[in-house]
Amino acid sequence: MLLIGQSIITIFSKMPVPQARFDVPELGLRLALERTWMAPDTTLRQVLERLEKALNALEQAVDLRLDKEGDFAEAEEEVQRMNADRSRLAQELDQSEARAERLEAANREVSRRLVTAMETIRAVLDR
């Protein structure tokens, strides 16, 4: 980790500091106050420990974010399955309603024929 820490420190020490942020006095003051400055007696080991803690926190945050994205992907797949089921069930319902209408029409026809047959039988018996 020491080598990695030294490499990161070298990279950051060579990066130019953007001056545009400090062109607005209020913004520059706010940024300066928000920063956590290290004491002059901070050792390299302490700096590397802080860096390692920060990297661990970042890694945990990334892992949490990836887990959440995975959960969202699973939820999206579930929604797609539910929509497919809904479409299938809607088709089945339409077919069942059409069959029920046909059965109801057949029932009315049978009932009409039975009434006609009973009236015919009564007429024959009444003679």
Read off the pLDDT of each residue in 108-125 and give the average, rounded to a whole number.
96
Read off the pLDDT of each residue in 78-89 and give the average, rounded to a whole number.
94
Read off the pLDDT of each residue in 47-76 and give the average, rounded to a whole number.
89
pLDDT (0 to 100) of residue 37:
59
Query: Do the beta carbons of residue 5 and residue 48 sit within 8 Å?
Result: yes
Q: Between 13 and 52, whose confidence is greater?
A: 52
Query: Do the beta carbons of residue 47 and residue 38 sit within 8 Å?
Result: yes
Read off the pLDDT of each residue in 3-22 and give the average, rounded to a whole number.
50
What token pair was written down for 50? 């802080």
Tell me what percent of the residues of the chain surpass a pLDDT of 90. Answer: 49
Q: In which band, very low, low, confident or very high, does the pLDDT at 26 lie, cut at 50, 70 and 90? A: low
pLDDT higher than 90, residue 75 = no
DSSP-H helix ranges across the chain: 2-14, 25-34, 44-126
Query: Do the beta carbons of residue 34 and residue 28 sit within 8 Å?
Result: no
pLDDT (0 to 100) of residue 14:
53
Question: How far apart (Å, rounded) are the C-alpha atoms in residues 46 and 48?
Answer: 5
pLDDT (0 to 100) of residue 32:
53
Maximum Cα–Cα distance across the chain? 126
Q: In which band, very low, low, confident or very high, does the pLDDT at 71 lie, cut at 50, 70 and 90? A: confident
In the predicted model, what is the mean pLDDT of the chain?
Answer: 79
